[in-house]
Structure 1
């Protein structure tokens, strides 16, 4: 049986979480596993899910409140052992340097472009799960 990848999507905005799910779909590329999503609207929920384990990639909303995705990314990179790769949704191209500070592996501009998001997510899944498919 083929492995399923688990993607954590963090945003306080239910519409942003939905945009991510719909943009990437069940399989962001043919050569990566099907994806299951875990949605989180708060930082404590993100930390709880990561502590449980089994998350392959995180997609964090840089504009989330009160805990923005950039700060959340920096925190989980410091606190979570073997932290999964992070795709950060940024509002402006000028925010890319902050994404570097936060140690995110990839960025995509918000509002989400389905092609950009699927490509970035698939790339992170390939790095995390090189022989999953």
Structure 2
């Protein structure tokens, strides 16, 4: 049996992290299997977890709160996509549907909108995990 996929959830507000985790659940889709969550309340925690890509227990997907303070998940997503080689997929949680263009600018792999619909949020995360492009190794 394979180990569960690891999802990093970032927000400076614990209640937002809890809302995201509750909406997606421990098993976003039957074919994905169980997931485990790592919570981050600061940018430093996110950077440490995301930079840990090559080690066991690496993040398979990150969900960043676009409204987080002082640095929001949208800007952080763009930074991570530019600075981390083989950056794991990132989903940005936003409050306004009109902010989707910002999430596109940030190079987010997907967007979820508060208030989170559990079916849509779980389906979005499952789709991103299914579509993650694995590196091709040439011999």
Q: Shorter chain as normaliser: what TM range?
A: over 0.9
Give the gaps of 5 or more residues in structure 1.
none
Instruction: Report the equivalent of 1:37.
Output: 37
Secondary structure, counterpart of 1:95 in structure 2: helix
Quote how far apart the aligned CAs of 1:89 are: 0.5
Tell me: higher relative CO, structure 1 or 2? Use CA pairs within 8 A at least 6 residues apart.
Answer: 1
TM-score in terms of structure 1 length: 0.93
TM-score for the superposition, normalised by structure 2: 0.89
Structure ID, larger Rg: 2
Give the whole-Å Cα distance in 2 for the aligned partners of 1:107 and 1:62: 10
Q: Does 1:107 align with 2:111?
A: yes
Structure with the higher fraction of residues in helix conformation: 1
Measured in 2, the distance between the counterparts of 1:129 and 1:4 equals 18
Give the distance between the partners of 1:3 and 1:128, measured in 2 at CA.
17
Over 6 Å off, 4+ runs? none
- In structure 2, list runs of 5 or more residues that go unmatched: 135-139
